[in-house]
Each structure stands twice: as structure tokens, then as C-alpha cells.
Amino acid sequence: MSVFVEVDHVGRTFPMPDGDRYIALKNIELKIKKGEFVTLIGHSGCGKSTLLNIIAGLDKATQGGVLLEGRQVTQPGPERMVVFQNYSLLPWLTVRENIALAVDEVMSDRPKGERRGVVEHHIDMVKLRHAADKRPGELSGGMKQRVAIARALSIRPKLLLLDEPFGALDALTRSGLQDQLMQICEENKTTCVMVTHDVDEALLLSDRVVMLTNGPESYIGQVLNIPFARPRHRLEVVKHPNYYSLRGEAVNFLNQQKRGKQRKVKQTAIARHGLEKVNLEIGFIPLTDCAPLVVAKEKGLFKKYGLDEVTLSREPSWKAIVEGVASRRLDAAQMTAGMPLTMTIGIDGKPPLPTVTALVLSRNGNAITLSKHLYNEGVRTLADFKAAITSSPDKIHTLGMVHPSSMHNLLLRYWLASGGIDPDLDVSLTVIPPPQMVANLKAGNIDGYCVGEPWNSRAVYEDLGFVIATDLDLWDGHVEKVLGVREDWANQNPQTHLALVKALMEACEYCDDHRNREEILELLCQPHYVGSAPEYTRPGFIDPYQRGTDAKPELLLRYNQFHIEKTNCPYRVEGLWILTQLARWGITPFPKNWIEVLDRVRRVDVFGEAARDLGMMDIEPDRGSIRLFDGTVFNPDDPISYLNSLKIKRDLRIQEITIDLEAEARGERLEARG
């Protein structure tokens, strides 16, 4: 479906009385399809209504513009109608006359009888026949808003814009009008953009929820795609398995923005202890292997190294991590292993944003879980899974993974391909945030997934799935999570970066002392960290690992590996393997100058300095070949031959990757576009 409305890099700046200027919106980019219902949410003052007014033509963008069906919006027009919160009805006119005012103005060339028919039709549409001859002063708030909606729809606009239309109404009236609006829009295939503060309203009505960050310089921080089928019914929406996960993402985003507003007041402290910055915001995903961040916070290690106030920001997805670091909302973050590489090279059409890692936070810790219905059908091995796929050619087997740059994706693809299953042609892979995996498996949306703990063990605990392979079966000791920061941030804050690495290295060492695991488990299970139940967080972390099969539980001492066996060095050979797999599946091109790319991204020098300061071993693992479970050997001296030798792959792109100084400037402009 083609683009119907395009908000093309819109910015809005307002002059201030003192001669300064206030940047309300910056680089807003949004494409809306015909018939789509899009909701804008965010805290007061974030520019939602300003953006709506620009789309309506009631205000003009300072930068960029708006296109409706390919034509630039420069002024108000009847093809765009706005419903305001305050109704905007003429008090001396009746319901019928208020609607007729709009119809007569826009359809003046139509016969009087036809115009009258349009008015009467829309009175009936909003169920106001009994009040057609009443004036606004005789109507309730809900009835007034129905008049406003009828008036807007009566001129048959191409785009309906609603600015908190139900914000002033009581809950019962609001829910009734929401249902009525939903029905009207579905029957008339109306394209809508609505501003609201109500998360539940947004989830009920929308196809997409666009979340704006705090001003000044507000931008699109995150976009939620709402999967609920239409027509919608309130109770069915609330009972959908993804409802509370999506609601949690939206609420979490708003809470982050609220905390961000508070921190802007706090961040006036002068840096101390020789550090450039002492107050940091670090993003993480609720997984067992976020333990080093939690330990560094709760055991006072950040403060030990001069970082006075470190806030751990629980993020809803790896996409939110990328957007948070790119937009500078986050100073640093727990990242998937390939994320600094894909951000630096550029992925999904986004410009390169040089990103570095000086520390591996964890190794291993993942598993491939399949639905219990496959186990009941006799699937025990990869060959069995291939046979199940072959025997049901009309069924699409869908598997979840967490991010294209993650080892979850790369190892899952590698595992499938080793069994003759093309991960792009024979199955369907979909990105799902880790906390939503179990709900999607339970709902039957997916047939399995590759994810970190505790989300495999939870599926086993609830008898929803079984673990067909752990990553110890595939590549024991592979890099899993890393600490990621923007390169320009690291350059501007070298001593802060070093202090952060040292604090987390000490935390990693603490996590790998199994005498500390019970204490760490209690910390992880707190709601503001992982928030999982101990019963399905213990396996693999403390207790023997259960696969949900007939096999006996196994004690996997290195299932969650944080420090031993040179865990923390971001050595280059494994980074090179990641680059080959990203290229193998067409996610990024393979860089001819891979040595330059790896030297820039994987900062072994910073790791080494931190290790020496702590009295730890400053040793990079041997630069040897990598051998995975299928016997294939990766030779780091000839990665292109290795790529060409792989049987199942996409068309390879091999090119020089230019990471120039301008890339950092482009990174300054990189906003979250959803």
C-alpha cells in the first residue's frame, strides 16, 4: 500500500522573547498509509499538538514539510478536518445547524437536498437524532464531542485529525465514544491521526502508536505496531496475549521520559574524581545476563570508581537500546554482540553511527526452544524438525529471535542452515523482544525461539516448550552481550568510559563466583530488574538446567559466563565471525577493510588499560580458528573464502566501509524513526 501522508523530516522552532529560540520538534519522519489509525503519545509539552497542527495546515514547519497524496500541505483545507478537545461548536446553532455549517461551506455546489441528506446521515451516524434540534448548552460533554466528530466526518475528509478528543470526558462516556469512533472509522476506511495521553485508548484504537520524547528537540523515540485484528472489541483487545507487553512498553517509554525530565535538572553537578561525567544512564534488557550491571549498581561499584549517579534504564527491546544510544538518551547500554558493528556499518537504511565496545559482559546463556506440540509430534533433533517442516508444506513455521545483530539470530540461522533448512525460505524468522517470547509461544504466534534466560526456562516451567539446543551445544564460549557506547561519547569522556569499564569488569568477576549467585538471583528477580520468578530463573544460573524433555537436568557451570576464560576481552576474531554471518544473510555488506572496522569498534586497547589498572590479565584470546558444532572451521585469515564456501546464504555484498569523521556528525542527526 502506498504512502498516503508523509511527514518529511519536520522541525518546528519558536522565537523566544529574549531573542533565543525554542526547538520544539526536530527531524520528525512518519509515513502513514491510507485507512491507517496512528496515535501520537508523549508527555505534555513534547509537541504532539504542534505536530498535529502542522499536518492540519494550521501551523507551518520550520524545516521539512507534510505531503498528503503527494501534495504539500501549506494551509488548512477541507480534506483535513480537526476534532479538538474543546468541541469548538457555535453555541447559538443547533446540532443540525452546526453540522450543516460545515457541509454548506464545503459542498456549496451540491443541491440543497443532497446537502441536507448528508447532514441527517451524520446525525444518525453519531446517534444524536433525539438531540438534533438542541443547542450545545443543552448537551452533555460526550454529546458535544459526537457533534464535533459528525461535523468533521460530514465533509468526507481524506484525513481526520483528533486532538485529545475524549480527554475531558468521564470514563464511561469516553469508552462509549471510543467504540463509536472505532466503528465509524472501520466502516468508512478513514485515515486518522490522534493525540492522546491515554495509553489504553491508543492501544485500542491504533494500528501504530508513535511515542514522542520530551522537548525541547522532541523526536520520535519509538513506534509500536499494534497487531490486534479488526474489527476490534474492547474485551478481546485486553485479553490479547501481547496487550500487556505492549502496554508495558508504552508506559515504560513514558516513565523513561519522565525520569529524563527530572535528570535534566539534576545534571548540573560538576564532574569530580577526574572524570568528565559522573551521572550516567545505562540501558539494559531484562535478562539473566544483565547481572553485571545490576551488581555494579547494587554493590556500589559504580560509585567506587567515581560514577556518582548511575541509573539503570530497563528497556522494552533491543531496538529501543539502539535508539536510546543513537539519540543520546542513554550514555551506554548492554548490547547484543553484533550491535556495535551494525550501528557502525549502518543497518536497515540508517546512516552509520560509530559505536564501540571495550568490554564483553557475558558469554553463552542462550537456548533454542521449540513449542511442546512439536515435541509431542516426535521432534527431538534438528533432523526431526526439518522432517516436520517438509511434511507440512502448507504450514509456515515461525521462529522468534531478538534482533538481527544478535547472536540469537546468527546462531539460530547457523543451526537451521546446518540441518539444510534455509532460515529465510523454509521458515519465517521474526523479531520479538525477549520478555514477549513466552506469551507469543503460548498464543501460538510462533513455533519456537532463540533467546536468553530466563525466557527458555519459563517456557519449560510452564510446559509450553522444550529446549532442543543450548548455545553450549553450538559454540561453547561465544560472545553474547557487550557494553556499547557511541564512539564520540567515548572520545569526549575517556576517563568516564574507563571508569565504567573497570566497574563492570569487577562486577563480572563477582558474578562468576558461584558463592555469590544466590544473592545475585535475589537482585535479578526484583521487579525493576528482570522481575522473573526464582523457579525459572535458577536453572542454568544456579541449579541444573532442565530442557523439558526426558533428559535428566544438567549442571552447566558455564551456561552464564561472566569473567572466567578471558570472557571480558572484546577480541577481534569473534567480531570477524559476526561480520561474516551478517554478510551471509544480507544484513550488512562484508567490509573489505574488516581489520580497520574491527580495530575501531572492538576497543581492546581500552579493555587492556582497564585490566591493567585492576591488576587483571591484559591478554587477548589467541587469534586462532573457530570451530562450531558442525565441524566447519572459520579461518580468520581468509573470511571471504569462508563465506563463499557456505552452501546456504544470500547474495554476498563485499565493499569498502568508509567510517569518516562526518559519520559522527550524521550520528548527531540520527533520530529514532520507528
Q: Do 473 and 340 form a contact (C-beta atoms < 8 A)?
A: no
Query: 319 pLDDT exceeds 60?
Result: yes
The CA distance from 531 to 664, in Å, is: 36
Confirm whether 63 is domain-assigned.
yes
- Asked whether the predicted pLDDT for residue 519 surpasses 80, the reply is yes
pLDDT over 70, % of the chain: 94
Three-class secondary structure of residue 367 per DSSP:
strand
Please give the Cα distance from 492 to 132 (Å, whole number): 66
Angle made by CA atoms 542, 548, 550, in degrees to the nearest 5: 110
Name the packing angle between helices 572-584 and 594-601 (round to 10°). Answer: 120
Instruction: Let me know whether 342 and 387 are in one domain.
Output: no
Of the ranges 26-40, 42-56, 223-237, 420-434, the best mean pLDDT one: 420-434
Q: pLDDT at residue 271 above 60? A: no
pLDDT of residue 567: 94
Q: Which of 458, 474, 490 is the last residue of a domain?
A: 474
Work out the average pLDDT over 176-183. 78
Task: State residue 249's pLDDT score.
Answer: 81
Instruction: Kindly report which listed range (27-36, 110-119, 281-290, 417-426) carries the lowest average pLDDT score.
Output: 110-119
Q: What pLDDT does residue 248 have? A: 86
- Are 80 and 55 in contact by the 8 Å Cβ rule? The answer is yes
User: Residue 245: its pLDDT value, please?
Assistant: 85
**How many residues would you count in the chain?**
674
Does residue 599 lie in a domain region?
no
Grade residue 266 by pLDDT with cuts at 50, 70 and 90.
very low
Q: Which of 350, 351, 667, 213 is nearest to 485 (CA)?
A: 667
CA distance 107 to 115: 7
Mean pLDDT over 81-102 rounds to 79
Identify whether 593 is part of a domain.
no
Q: Please give the residue that has the higher pLDDT: either 136 or 70.
A: 70
In tens, the pLDDT along 574-627 reads 999 999 999 999 999 999 888 889 889 999 889 989 998 999 987 777 767 899
Least confident of 98-107, 259-268, 365-374, 425-434: 259-268
In eight-state DSSP terms, residue 552 is P
- If asked whether residues 487 and 537 sit together in one domain, one would say yes
Helix (H, G, I), strand (E, B) or coil at 228: coil
Q: How many CB atoms lie within 10 A of CB 598?
A: 22
Write down the H helix ranges in 382-516: 382-391, 407-418, 437-443, 455-461, 471-474, 487-492, 494-511
- Looking at per-residue pLDDT, the higher value among 399 and 80 belongs to 399
Are 39 and 57 within 8 A, CB to CB?
no
Q: Which of 430, 459, 474 is the last residue of a domain?
A: 474
CA–CA distance from 215 to each of 44, 261, 419 (Å)?
A: 9, 9, 51
Dist CA 312 CA 290 (whole Å)? 10
Tell me the CATH number at 300.
3.40.190.10
Q: Which three cell numbers stand for residue 488?
A: 564520540
Chain centroid to CA 595: how far? Answer: 31
pLDDT for res 262: 61
pTM confidence score: 0.72
Say if 98 falls within a structural domain: yes
Q: Reduced to 3 states, what is the DSSP secondary structure of residue 225?
A: strand
| Backbone dihedral angles phi then psi of residue 321, each to the nearest 5 degrees | -60, -50
What's the one-letter identity of residue 649?
A: K
Let me know whether 6 and 73 are in one domain.
yes
SS3 at position 316: coil
Q: Is residue 149 part of a domain?
A: yes
How far is 430 from 450, CA to CA, in rounded Å? 11
Q: Are residues 500 and 388 in the same domain?
A: no
CA 666/CA 354 separation, integer angstroms: 10
User: Which residue range(s) make up the domain with 203?
Assistant: 1-78+158-253
> In this predicted model, what pLDDT tens digit does every residue of 189-235 receive, in sequence order?
889 998 998 899 899 989 999 988 887 878 787 788 899 988 888 88
Q: Which grid cell is 389?
A: 517442516
CATH of the domain at 246: 3.40.50.300
Residues 285 and 316 occupy one common structural domain: yes
Residues 28, 6: one domain?
yes
- The answer as to whether 465 is a domain residue is yes
pLDDT of residue 64: 92
* Spatial CA neighbour of 400 closest among 455, 448, 366: 448
Please provide the average confidence, as pLDDT, over all residues in the chain: 88
Largest CA distance in the chain: 90
Q: Tell me phi and psi for residue 489, to 5 degrees.
A: -65, -45
Q: Is residue 653 part of a domain?
A: no
Specify whether 371 is located in the same domain as 325: no
Kindly report the number of other CB atoms within 10 A of residue 269's CB atom.
11
pLDDT reading at 246 higher than 80? yes
289 shares a domain with 355: yes
pLDDT bucket at 310, cuts 50 / 70 / 90: very high
pLDDT band for position 87 (cuts 50, 70, 90)? low
One-letter amino acid for residue 152 of the chain = A
Task: Mark whether 73 and 163 lie in a shared domain.
Answer: yes
Domain count, the chain: 4
Q: Are residues 388 and 461 located together in one domain of the fold?
A: yes
How many beta carbons lie within 10 A of that of residue 627, not counting itself? 11
Query: Has residue 27 got a pLDDT over 60?
Result: yes
Confidence check: pLDDT of 652 > 50: yes
Are 285 and 428 found together in one domain? Answer: no
- For the record, the C-alpha cell of 260 comes out as 529524563
Residue 474 clears pLDDT 60, i.e. is over it? yes
Q: For the chain, what percent of residues have pLDDT higher than 90? A: 58
Rounded mean pLDDT of 637-664? 83
Grid coordinates belonging to 403: 534482533
Domain for residue 280, yes or no?
Answer: yes
**What secondary structure, in 3-state letters, does 61-76 show?**
CCEEEEEECCEECCCC
Question: Which residues have CB under 8 Å from 487's CB, separation 6+?
Answer: 344, 354, 355, 356, 600, 664
Secondary structure, 3-state, 91-116: CCCCHHHHHHHHHHHHCCCCCHHHHH
Residue 517 confidence (pLDDT) above 70:
yes
Do 370 and 400 sit in the same domain of this protein? yes
- The model's pLDDT over 529-556, given as tens digits with 9 standing for 90+, comes to 999 999 999 999 999 999 999 999 999 9
Closest CA to 92 of 128, 123, 134: 134
Q: Which of 156, 178, 207 is the C-terminal boundary of a domain?
A: 156
